[in-house]
Each structure stands twice: as structure tokens, then as C-alpha cells.
């Protein structure tokens, strides 16, 4: 049994004992509720640290989730309220050079992280069937843990995607799918780094890095100007690759339900739910962008011919 599973089991046993003790005092009154609430808060904070990964606990932004939550809330406030208000009476910013540099940076960062995922385990050592987390301080285990933290930081940098849309008044790009994705992934990756920095779930990070290499390369070329549009005819195929990504993650995560290697099965369920939700959202985007628009254009062409 791995460290995470042992800590979870120990925490559950302690909770059972705690609630058994509480049940021995049936005469508690409403005046005792503040004390009980404070006691419960202290216990769950203590439990939070017990089941977390001690290797990453002191890394920047990893001590507790509050800074990440505040950054996500600030992001939502800026893109949904402050940004549109500031841009209401202004012309869109022209950020051609900034976008080329930013998207080029994301291509390089995604390439680096993809290589590190392969070198840290997925190319040689990791099992695609079921891979536990290595909580040791070995060189390879720490390399994967550090990569999980870098991956988390990369999701914070992607807030800039939406900020640039707002600054350029590309309101149609700030969709529910886009905002949902960019506000959820920082929290997911924080949990990954704080509790399970490595193992089975990191395959989705590897695949995501692969997809993002092409995604940000597409954005980079698109930012270069209209004369380069002829080189990015493959947008439809990029969305197809994203759909395949979620299908692979779903199937890979489902293996945890039938194989026990010490990796938390409930994380497999969360990854399955996560990939299913994104598959539905991206499938709807694919339909609205490529199928529905194509069907609308078809009658117009027939009328023109007549």
C-alpha cells in the first residue's frame, strides 16, 4: 500500500474514532456548537496535511489552496466584469507581436513539459495499465513531482489567453467552454501537485502538452496576420484531436476501476468525469463551429446558383 493510501486509511480510522467519541455525549446543547465547529475545523485542517504529499508541501503556492482560489476568482472578475468595463469605450488593442511571443513561449513550454513527462516515467518506466505514485525522494520521483508543479504554474500563465481576448474585444472567444476550462484546471493541477504528484493521472498532462504544442502554434501563426491564414487550414482537425484526447483519458482512467496498484480509484472516477464533461463541451463546440455553420451556408449556395 502506498503512502497516500496509508494516510487516507489512517485518517478515516481516526475520524471514525472521533465521531464515536462525539456520539457518547447526547446531551450537547446549542451552546456547544461553536466549540464543536472549531474542533471539527481543526481536525480537518490537520487531516488535510496528513494525507498530502510532504515533498511538495513547502513549494510556492502549495501550502494551502487559498492563493490559487483567489487567483481564479480574480481571473473571473477581470475577464467578466473589470476587463469589459475598461474596454467598453476603447478601441481593441493590437497585440500582434505580444501574441506571437506569448504563443511561441507556450509552444516551447508545452514541448519541454511533454519531454519531461516522457523522460520522468511515461517513456520507459510507467505502466499504462495502472501506475502508482512514487512518493520517494529518488531523482526520477522528484523530477516528476517538480514537473507536476511546473504544469500547475503553466495553467496559471494561461489566464493570459482570456485577458488578451478581452483586450482585443474578441468577446465571441470568451465562451463558457473557454472560461470553464481556464478556471477549473488551476484547481485540478493544484490538487494533483499537493496530493498525488506523479503516477497514473499524469498521462492526461502528457497528452495535454502534446495537444497544446499544436494549439498554441495555431494561435501563433494566426496572430502573424491574414497573409498566414492559408497555413492554418487544419483548425477542424485540431478540435478532432482534442476530442480524441478526452476519449483516451477516459479509457485510461477507467482502468483504475479494474486494476488496483495503489493509485486512488476515486481520482480515476474524477478524471473520467472530467474528460466526459470536456468531451461533451468540445463536441458541442465542434458541431456549432463546423457542422452547424456548414449547414447554414449550404442553402445560400443553392439559392445563388438558381
134 φ, ψ to 5°? -90, 105
At a CB cut-off of 8 Å and minimum separation 6, what does 91 contact?
Answer: none
Query: Any catalytic annotation for residue 178?
Result: no
Among 117, 181, 252, 274, the active-site one is: 181
Task: Answer yes or no: are the C-beta atoms of 166 and 87 closer than 8 Å.
Answer: yes
Burial (0-12, 13-18, 19+ Cβ within 10 Å), 190: buried
If you search the block for the grid coordinates 486509511, which residue do you land on?
A: 9
Task: Answer yes or no: are the C-beta atoms of 144 and 134 closer than 8 Å.
Answer: yes
SS (H, E, C) the chain: CCHHHHHHHHHHHHHHHHHHHHCCCCCCCHHHHHHHHHHHHHHHHHHHHHCCCCCCCCCCCCCCCHHHHHHHHHHHHHHHHHHHHHHCCCCCCCCHHHHHHHHHHHHHHHHHHHHHHHHHHHCCCCCCCCCCCCCCCCHHHHHHHHHHHHHHHHHHHCHHHHHHHHHCCCHHHCCHHHHHHHHHHHHHHHHHHHHCCCCCCHHHHHHHHHHHHHHHHHHHHHHCCHHHHHHCCCHHHHHHHHHHHHHHHHHHHHHHHCCCCCCCHHHHHHHHHHHHHHHHHHHHHHHHHHHHHHHHHHHHHHHHHC
What are the residue numbers of the active site? 181
Amino acid at each position: 500500500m502506498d503512502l497516500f493510501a496509508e494516510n487516507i486509511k489512517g485518517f478515516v480510522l481516526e475520524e471514525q474514532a472521533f465521531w464515536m467519541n462525539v456520539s457518547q455525549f447526547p446531551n450537547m446543547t446549542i451552546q456547544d456548537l461553536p466549540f464543536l465547529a472549531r474542533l471539527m475545523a481543526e481536525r480537518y485542517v490537520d487531516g488535510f496535511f496528513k494525507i498530502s504529499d510532504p515533498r511538495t508541501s513547502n513549494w510556492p503556492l502549495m501550502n494551502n489552496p487559498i492563493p490559487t482560489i483567489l487567483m481564479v476568482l480574480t481571473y473571473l472578475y477581470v475577464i467578466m466584469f473589470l476587463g469589459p468595463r475598461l474596454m467598453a469605450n476603447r478601441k481593441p488593442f493590437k497585440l500582434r507581436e505580444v501574441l506571437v511571443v506569448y504563443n511561441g513561449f507556450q509552444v516551447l513550454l508545452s514541448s519541454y513539459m511533454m519531454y519531461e513527462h516522457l523522460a520522468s516515467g511515461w517513456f520507459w518506466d510507467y505502466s499504462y495499465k495502472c501506475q502508482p505514485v512514487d512518493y520517494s525522494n529518488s531523482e526520477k520521483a522528484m523530477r516528476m513531482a517538480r514537473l507536476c508543479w511546473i504544469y500547475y504554474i503553466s495553467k496559471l500563465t494561461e489566464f493570459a489567453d482570456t485577458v488578451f481576448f478581452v483586450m482585443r474585444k474578441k468577446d465571441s472567444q470568451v465562451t463558457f467552454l473557454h472560461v470553464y476550462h481556464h478556471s477549473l484546471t488551476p484547481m485540478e493541477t493544484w490538487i494533483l501537485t499537493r496530493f498525488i504528484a506523479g503516477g497514473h493521472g499524469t498521462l492526461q498532462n502528457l497528452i495535454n502538452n502534446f495537444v497544446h504544442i499544436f494549439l498554441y502554434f495555431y494561435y501563433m501563426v494566426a496572430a502573424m496576420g491574414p497573409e498566414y491564414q492559408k497555413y492554418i487550414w487544419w483548425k477542424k482537425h485540431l478540435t478532432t484531436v482534442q476530442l480524441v484526447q478526452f476519449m483516451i483519458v477516459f479509457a485510461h482512467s477507467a482502468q483504475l476501476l479494474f486494476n488496483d496498484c495503489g493509485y486512488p480509484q476515486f481520482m480515476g472516477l474524477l478524471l473520467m468525469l472530467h474528460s466526459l464533461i470536456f468531451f461533451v463541451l468540445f463536441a458541442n463546440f465542434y458541431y456549432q463551429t463546423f457542422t452547424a455553420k456548414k449547414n447554414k451556408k449550404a442553402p445560400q449556395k443553392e439559392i445563388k446558383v438558381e
